[in-house]
Amino acid sequence: MRATSAFPVLVVLIVLVLCPFGAPAEMKQGSSTLHVDPDALHIRETFQGAPLTLSADIPKGAGAVVEILGATHEDHLLRQGRRGGLWMSVGEVTVQGAPSVYLLLSTSNVAAHSDSGTQWGYEALGKKIKFLGSIPHDGAGALFEQFVRLKESESLYGLFPASLKAVRTSNGRATIEGQLMLPSNIAPGNYRIVLSVLNSGKLLEQRSVELPITMRGLPAFLASLAHKHAVLYGLVAVVIAIVTGFVMGFIFKGKGAH
């Protein structure tokens, strides 16, 4: 009797053990994906910035936010102010925890700022950045606004609401796509691109990919020379300046002052 009753129990145990192995594949098919084109960038002599295309597969009706984040580092800036009716440097400010690049794209059903349940946009960024040194009387909040304006003027920071558009939908899924222009002054390094998928303001899932940006050709040679052979780099810079001066003088010869 015991041997006969043990057989169904054994079958049930086998089914319970095998069933979980089928679940992840089904969940993987329903998870969101993020694609970046190109998946790597090279800074060469003629680099003037580069277009970056972002596409993602998300649930239909969901919202999405894509952030492009550079590595955090320490900035040392001079704060300007009025002294005796003149604008001048009134102190040095150290900025800690600020990413070198912060660009945000979102779908039309997502606000460009953060709320209590999400972590993106300038509001969330301001909670991570610290200011040390010459802090103005109106506090770090005003300093953060000035810092953001400075980065936006360099095209290194920016919010682009409703820049992610649905290009097609099928089977309860939507493919969204957006494009932006990376600035010409972007520094080499590994950049993190993060996709946040939301539903009614609640975070459903996140995906991230790396975007390596490297120097090639003459820029890479000069950068390596500056770090490893500073004296030789100085001589090369002087030679380049002299040659450029002669070339410009020859081109504009006989046209007066140049």
Per-residue confidence of the chain (258 residues) as pLDDT tens digits? 444 454 454 444 444 444 444 333 333 345 788 999 998 999 887 888 899 999 999 998 889 999 999 999 888 887 776 666 666 666 788 889 999 999 999 998 886 555 545 678 898 898 888 888 777 666 777 888 888 999 999 999 999 999 999 888 888 898 999 999 999 999 999 999 999 998 877 888 889 999 999 877 766 666 666 666 677 767 777 888 888 888 888 777 665 554
Secondary structure letter of residue 112 according to DSSP: S
Task: Using DSSP, state whether 42 is helix, strand or coil.
Answer: strand
Residue 109's contacts (CB-CB under 8 Å, 6 or more residues apart) are 63
Outline where DSSP puts E strands in 165-201.
165-170, 173-182, 189-199
User: Using CA atoms, how far apart are residues 207 and 223, in angstroms rounded to an integer?
Assistant: 33
pTM (predicted TM-score): 0.73
Scanning the structure block, which residue is given the tokens 């932006």?
180
Is the CB of residue 162 less than 8 Å from the CB of residue 106? yes
The three-state secondary structure class of 6 is helix
Q: Supply 100's token pair.
A: 């070198």
Domain 32-215, architecture per CATH: Sandwich (2.60)
Report which of 51, 11, 17, 56 is spatially closest to residue 33, judged by C-alpha positions. 56
8-18: pLDDT as tens digits? 544 444 444 44
pLDDT digits (tens, 9 = 90+) for 110-123: 865 555 456 788 98
How many angstroms separate the CA atoms of 101 and 155, rounded?
9
Measured in whole angstroms, the distance separating CA 85 from the mean position of its chain's CA atoms is 39
Q: How far is CA 257 from the centre of its chain?
A: 44
The answer for residues whose C-beta is within 8 angstroms of residue 143's C-beta and 6 or more apart is 79, 93, 131, 135, 136
Q: In 3-state terms, what secondary structure has residue 95? A: strand
